[in-house]
Structure 1
């Protein structure tokens, strides 16, 4: 098992949440539109430091890739609501310290699974693509990101996601 338990504990300590309770999910399904009445977060430097650390943690944690990406979208002007989202995310990390990448022997095939969420971001109507590639039974590559342009249909969003995954498999 490849995990970063020690590093995750350090992030929790730096954020002052080492004694927090855990939560079963990293983020709540909510609209990504910002509320104009949200107050700016008092210490944006702290927000950026913690979020940057989480980017490194996601190297061995595919379960947090999407949530980490979502939280990173607010680094330039975080609000109190964004910091609450970050704290929830850290509480998820607290409850899942032992999650990592299991490494096991297997055959040398590259099965890849792909999906897209058409127009999922309410603020810009861009789709989200995701894929994961295994070498036998071991996860070796994954990605979750917003597509660069707006897809006109769910089929178009799926094809773009498939194209990104195929490029990754060819590279591998």
Structure 2
């Protein structure tokens, strides 16, 4: 719920029986709390330190969101509270593994763990690809998938205190779009991945297997780009609700030169007819100055971590670019 009157802005978030209230006028917020308490049975808990299992650490220049206790409960559920940690959540060459004769987790526990891990990605976007890949086998997990799940849990053991910082900075949006062409060895569908930053803060990310088979890397990249553009437009509208005006085009970075050329080419070709809607959608938003499509080197493509398993050095580099890590200020205080 949003309240705007003169210069007073109040935002009320309700999830079942949990309420989060924020705004720019403390007196108006206190008055609203008083009115709510007169009508409902409520308890005022003061400044927010935790919401829906997400811990909120406050600092002068940022907030830090984490789910340490929730991550530990997942390890406890898997009966791996003291397992050895690993530096990478994914297995880069699963075909080279020899799966065990029996699964490490039964199907019911596998589904429970994957469901819990999906919620953990709220502050752990670095595991989004691994969780997405394992989620595709929830109906019938094989022993190999349980091995991959165990490695993901061992990675969480070593990053249990990692989280997502919300840093005070400028309010310009930046989006990174990528795709891994024909990455699924069975269906040959591609994986889309994109993420959006508000200033230096990661605010949105998506990992999704595409619904149709792409016949080229350009086509798969273009489908990802269209989805990233739609998400960026939605975020701009959401910012408008918070009275944050974003009049300049949003910089969208793509590392596929053919996709960029196709988006900027005003001539429609018959060979791109199968992605005509996506093509026209992206092009219209470029012409309307909603987005500005820019090239980026593959090495610097932040969304690469959302589309495929990576070797450990590359994975750590992109994880840092996503700003995911431990609470440095808390560590420094210790």
TM-score > 0.5, shorter chain as reference: yes
Closer, same or farther: CA 38–168 of 1 in aligned 2, 3 Å: farther
> Is the CA contact (8 Å cut-off) linking 2:85 and 2:154 kept in structure 1?
yes
1:72-131 C-alpha deviation (Å, 9 max, x unpaired): 111111122211111111000001112211111111111001111111111111111111
Return the match for 1:60 from 118, 123, 126: 123
Equivalent position of 1:82 in the other structure: 145
Closer, same or farther: CA 96–41 of 1 in aligned 2, 3 Å: closer
Matched residue count: 169
Report SS of the residue matched to 2:65: coil
Return the match for 1:127 from 176, 186, 190: 190
> Is the CA contact (8 Å cut-off) linking 2:103 and 2:146 kept in structure 1?
no
Q: How far apart, CA to CA, are the structure 2 residues paired with 1:38 and 1:145?
A: 30
Return the match for 2:227 from 160, 164, 171: 164
Measured after TM superposition, the shift of residue 145 of structure 1 is 1.1
Report SS of the residue matched to 2:90: coil
> Is the CA contact (8 Å cut-off) linking 1:109 and 1:136 kept in structure 2?
yes
Where structure 2 has 5 or more consecutive residues not aligned to the other structure, the ranges are 1-63, 236-334
Q: How far apart, CA to CA, are the structure 2 residues paired with 1:169 and 1:49?
A: 32
Closer, same or farther: CA 87–40 of 1 in aligned 2, 3 Å: closer
Equivalent position of 1:107 in the other structure: 170
Return the match for 1:73 from 125, 136, 139: 136
Higher relative contact order (CA 8 A, sep 6+): 1
Measured after TM superposition, the shift of residue 38 of structure 1 is 6.4
Equivalent position of 2:91 in the other structure: 28
Q: Compute the TM-score of the two structures, normalised by the length of structure 2.
A: 0.48
Q: Does 1:94 align with 2:152?
A: no
RMSD value, Cα = 1.8
Q: How far apart, CA to CA, are the structure 1 residues paired with 2:191 and 2:106?
A: 30
Equivalent position of 2:207 in the other structure: 144
Closer, same or farther: CA 67–57 of 1 in aligned 2, 3 Å: same
Where structure 1 has 5 or more consecutive residues not aligned to the other structure, the ranges are none
Structure 1 stretch 80-89 or stretch 20-29: which is displaced more?
Answer: 80-89
Structure with the greater alpha carbon radius of gyration: 2
Q: Compute the TM-score of the two structures, normalised by the length of structure 1.
A: 0.92
Report SS of the residue matched to 1:155: helix
> Is the CA contact (8 Å cut-off) linking 1:41 and 1:78 kept in structure 2?
no
